Amino acid sequence: MLEQIISIVRQAGEIVLSAHDVWSQTHEKSSAADLVTEYDLAVERFLKEKLPPLMPGSLFFGEEEKENADPLTGWVFIVDPIDGTTNFVRGLKQSAISVALAHDGAVEYGVVYDPYKDEMFSAKRGGGAFLNGRPIHVSERSLSEGVFGMGTAIYDRQFLAPTMRVTEQLFRRSCDFRRLGAAALDLCNVACGRLDLFFEYSLSPWDHAAGGLIITEAGGVISTLEGAPMDYAHRCSVWASNQVNKGILRELEV
C-alpha cells in the first residue's frame, strides 16, 4: 500500500512541476490570503481518481472538495493536493503534496512529497519513517541549541496574539526560528531532525495527518497545544517535537 501511494503521489508531483503562469490561474477563496490555483484542483482531481481504488470501499477527504466524507469512519484518504499554496503561487518552491490513509480515525499510512527537492517522506504505522527510502529520526537537540518552526494560522487570525506570545517565548530559549509556509513539510522537517520543534495554532486535518504519523514513526511527538491527541475532523492546534523538547509545552504561557 505504502509503495502504491508513493508512486501515485510522485506522479502528482509532475503536475506541480509542470506549473506555469500560476498567477493567472489563481483564485481567492475566502480572502486574498486564502488562494487556490488550477494546479491545486488538478492535483486533487488526479489523486481522487487514483487513490481510492487502492483500498476497496475507501473514501476521500480533500482540501478542495465541495463535499467531504466523514474522516473518522472506515478507510479514508486525507489529502492536501498542494500544501503551501502561497509559496507555490509566488514561485518560492517550498510546497508539498500530503496524503494520509486513515482507518476509523487512526492514520495508518502517511506520505508527504516535496517535488522541488524530490524528497519523499513516508511512514506506515509501526514501520518507522523514511526519506527517499532511508530511515529518519527526530533530532536529539535541546531548544537552547535548536531552531524551531512555526506557522501563523493564516485562516484563523484570532490566534495572532497567542502565536506571537509563544513565538517570543520559544525564540528567547532557542537559536532561531523559521516560518517556511508549508505545514506538512514543517512536520517532516521535525521528523528528520532539520527542525527541533514546530507549532501552529490552527491547522486542518489534511495539513497534519500524514506529517503527524511521519513524526511519531520518526520517534517524535505530536499533540495539540492543549496536549490533546490530534483531531482529524476539525481544525486544531499543533505542537510537534523531538523527545528532548516535548516538555517545554507545559512551561509555556499559551
Q: Which positions lie near ligand IPD, rule CB under 6 A? A: 80, 83-86, 151-155, 181-183, 200, 203, 207
Min dist. Cβ of residue 244 to Ca ion (A)? 27
Q: Which is nearer to Ca ion, 136 or 203 (CB)?
A: 203
Q: For residue 128, give the C-alpha cell.
A: 518507522
Burial 10-39 (b: 16+ CB within 10 A, else e): eebbebbeebeebeebbeeeeeeeebbbeb
> From the list Ca ion, ligand IPD, none, which binds 149 (C-beta under 5 to 8 Å, kind-based)?
none
Torsion-angle region of 72 (φ positive above 0: left; ψ -120 to 50: alpha; else: beta): alpha
Rounded Cα gap, residues 218 and 237, in angstroms: 20
> From the list Ca ion, ligand IPD, none, which binds 154 (C-beta under 5 to 8 Å, kind-based)?
ligand IPD
Min dist. Cβ of residue 143 to ligand IPD (A)? 21
Q: Which is nearer to ligand IPD, 41 or 103 (CB)?
A: 41
Q: Which of 44, 200, 207, 217 binds Ca ion (CB under 5 A)?
A: 207
Q: Which stretch binds Ca ion (CB under 5 A): 61-69, 103-111, 150-158, 168-176?
A: 61-69
Q: Which residue has the cell 527517499?
A: 132
Q: For residue 145, give the C-alpha cell.
A: 541549541
Q: Which is nearer to ligand IPD, 31 or 132 (CB)?
A: 31
Q: For residue 109, give the C-alpha cell.
A: 499510512
Q: Which is nearer to ligand IPD, 4 or 86 (CB)?
A: 86
Q: For residue 51, give the C-alpha cell.
A: 487513490
Min dist. Cβ of residue 22 to ligand IPD (A)? 13
The CA–CA distances, whole Å, from 137 to 110, 115, 180, 188, 191 equal 15, 21, 20, 10, 6
Min dist. Cβ of residue 83 to Ca ion (A)? 4
Q: Which is nearer to Ca ion, 82 or 111 (CB)?
A: 82
* 83 touches Ca ion (CB under 5 A): yes
Min dist. Cβ of residue 70 to ligand IPD (A)? 21
> From the list ligand IPD, Ca ion, none, which binds 151 (C-beta under 5 to 8 Å, kind-based)?
ligand IPD
Contacts of 218 (CB under 8 A, 6+ apart): 123, 128, 129, 136, 137, 138, 191, 192
Residue number, nearest CB to Ca ion? 83
* 80 touches Ca ion (CB under 5 A): yes
Q: Which is nearer to Ca ion, 83 or 108 (CB)?
A: 83
